[in-house]
Chain A
Amino acid sequence: MACKKYGVSIDTIQKAQILIKEYINLTPVIHSTTLNSLSRKTLFFKSECFQKSGAFKFRGAANAVFSLQEEQAAKGVVTHSSGNHAAALSLAAQLRGIPSYVVIPNTAPKCKVANVKRYGGIVRFSEPTMQSREETAIRVLQETGAVLVPSSNDVRIISGQGTLSLEFLDQAPELDTLIVPISGGGLLSGVAIGAKSKNPAIRVLGAEPKGADDAAQSKACGRLVSLSHTNTIADGLRASMGDITWPIVRDLVDDIITVNDEEILQAMRYSYEILKVAVEPSAAIGLAAVLSDNFKKHPC
């Protein structure tokens, strides 16, 4: 696999792992015999909800923040994010002692805004469109000179997220398939590169809401598709892929399974009632995917 052309490789992921090791949590893998029966598979849940700031985003954010040189870092970092990346970047910046400026759409869940403030992030609200998010972020960048750290389309971010796959395959070497939520593609691309470097035979599937299925559409027609608006309870999965994440998803991700909001909610219920894990909707989508008819009919 010619990783160099993607900007991210097993090498950049391993470097990220060393850099962020002292800041991140090594998250547990949880099992349930009940969910195995329901799915008729052996399921392993990598619980990134227990990561610092409550989501996997902290991996990429920590890698980005701690790989900045002193002069860059001093002016701080800026981003636009529907939530989890915002908090993650604020926390990483706080740990490094530098400012973080966060552009958040005014429809973001209250708890995600509260998290950013708790970690010392300076909040600027935008409209809930990709365009408004990006324009507001550029304005802040020009005002402050801060470094832009996008939420997914960035090699430092993708490499950071990829560290998850190194841990996961270490904790469960018998894995033959991974199911990963997809939004902007940062997590899925990092995990795909990391996992397939370690085990070329492993299959990597994306899980996406039907109401925000731009990645599935992109895969189907072979070019990057973005949607003018989205409609899903999974508030963390509304972004589109970028020019760095798309090629990786196009080439290395085996398939994308789409599920509707009802399936996501049922998976959340299972997570709470059976796994005892308090997930957000976006996080339950992998479980929704493996229980879906779409998956059961899949040749895998």
Chain B
Amino acid sequence: MEDKKYAADIDSITKAHALIKPYVHITPVLSSETLNSIAGKSLFFKCECFQKGGAFKFRGASNAIFSLDEEQAAKGVVTHSSGNHAAALALAAKLRGIPAYIVIPKNAPKCKVENVKCYGGQIIWSEATMQSREETANKVLHETGAVLVHPYNDSRIISGQGTLSLEFLDQVPQLDTLIVPISGGGLISGVTIGAKSMNPAIRVLAAEPKGADDAAQSKASGRIITLPQTDTIADGLRASLGDLTWPVVRDLVDDIITVDDKEIVEAMRYCYEVLKVAIEPSGAIGLAAVLSDKFKRNPAWKDSRNIGIVLSGGNVDLGVLWESLNN
């Protein structure tokens, strides 16, 4: 794999690992005999819901924040995000003692907005479209001179997320397959580059909601496809691929499995009742994918025995959760 042509490589990921080490949690890996029986595989769950800020996003955010030079940092950072990146950036900025301007779409979950406030981020609201998010962020950038830290299409962010794979393969060296949620592609690009550098034979599968399947469509057609709107309970997985994340997804991700909301909610139920992990819908999608017919019937995955699944985050409004589990 020629790393150099992508936005991150094992080198940038290793550097990120060293830089963010004092700030991030090494999250535990959990397993369950019950889920292994149901899946017919050995499943290993990397619990990023226990990460600072409740999701993996803190890795990339702290890499971005702590690699700024003093002059850049002083003006602060700005971003647009449906939630977890917002809180992560606000937290990382607070740890560095610099301001964070966060553009949040109006339909973001309450708990994610609360997190941003908790961590001292300054909120600016936008409409719930990609265009409005980007335009509002640009306006703030011009007003404040703050550094734009994109939620995923940024090499510092991708390298930060990639540190997850270094930990995971260290904790479970026998992994032959990884299943990773995909939204903008920051997590999966970093994890794929990191994992395949450490073990070229490992295979990486993305898990995506059917109601936001732009990555699956992009993979199928060989070019970036963006959707005018999305429809899924997985509120963290509605973004489109960017010009830095797409090439990694196109070239290095082996396949994309799409699942519907019913499968996501079923997987959430398993996470709560069997794993005892309080996951958000986006976080449960990897489990939904491995339990789906699509995965089970596909001969390409017959030989996958030791599967690593990233439980990406746990920020969910309990009221919303209760309704979905009861419907």
| Chain A residues near B (Cβ < 8 Å) | 28, 30-31, 33-34, 47, 49-50, 52, 54, 111, 118, 269, 271-279
Contact = CB atoms under 8 A, between A and B. Distances in A.
Contact of B277 (A33, A274, A278): A278
Given A278-B277, A279-B276, 20 more contacts: A30-B28, A30-B50, A34-B118, A47-B276, A50-B28, A52-B33, A54-B276, A111-B273, A271-B278, A272-B278, A273-B318, A275-B50, A275-B278, A276-B54, A276-B314, A277-B276, A277-B277, A278-B271, A278-B272, A278-B276
A28 B54 CA distance: 16
Contact of A28 (B28, B33, B118): B28
B279 A276 contact: yes
A178 B275 CA distance: 25
A273 B111 contact: yes
Nearest to B114: A273
Contacts of B272: 278
16 contacts: A28-B50, A30-B28, A34-B118, A50-B276, A54-B276, A273-B111, A275-B50, A275-B278, A276-B47, A276-B50, A276-B54, A276-B279, A277-B277, A278-B273, A278-B278, A279-B276
Contacts of B33: 52
Given A276-B49, A276-B314, A278-B278, A31 B25 contact: yes
A-B interface, 5 closest residue pairs, ranked by CB to CB distance from nearest: A276-B314, A28-B28, A276-B49, A49-B276, A276-B278
Contacts of A277: 276-278
Contact of A276 (B34, B118, B273, B277): B277
B227 interface: no
Contact of B30 (A50, A111, A269, A273): A50
A97 to B, nearest CB: 16
A277 B111 CA distance: 16
Nearest to B111: A273
Nearest to A33: B52
A274 B278 CA distance: 9
A236 to B, nearest CB: 14
A271 B273 CA distance: 15
Contacts of A272: 278, 318
B271 to A, nearest CB: 8
Interface of B: 25, 28, 30, 33-34, 47, 49-50, 52, 54, 111, 118, 271-273, 275-279, 314, 318
Contacts of A111: 273
Nearest to B118: A34
Nearest to B49: A276
Contacts of B271: 278
Nearest to B31: A25
Contacts of B47: 276
Contacts of A31: 25
A276 B311 CA distance: 11
Contacts of A30: 28, 50
B130 to A, nearest CB: 28
B195 to A, nearest CB: 22
Contacts of B25: 31
Contacts of A271: 278
A172 to B, nearest CB: 14
A93 to B, nearest CB: 15
Contacts of B318: 269, 272-273
Contacts of A276: 47, 49-50, 54, 277-279, 314
A272 B272 CA distance: 10
B58 to A, nearest CB: 12
Contacts of B28: 28, 30, 50
A50 B274 CA distance: 9
Contacts of B54: 274, 276
A68 B275 CA distance: 30
Contacts of A279: 276
Nearest to A28: B28
Nearest to A280: B276
A97 B247 CA distance: 52
Contacts of A47: 276
Contacts of A269: 318
Q: Identify the interface centre among B25, B118, B279, B314: most chain A CB within 10 Å of its CB.
A: B314
Contacts of B277: 276-278
A277 B34 CA distance: 18
A275 B118 CA distance: 15
Contacts of A274: 54
A271 B272 CA distance: 12
Contacts of A118: 34
Contacts of B278: 271-273, 275-278
A275 B111 CA distance: 14
Nearest to A34: B118
A278 B278 CA distance: 5
A14 B128 CA distance: 58
A31 to B, nearest CB: 7
A271 B118 CA distance: 17
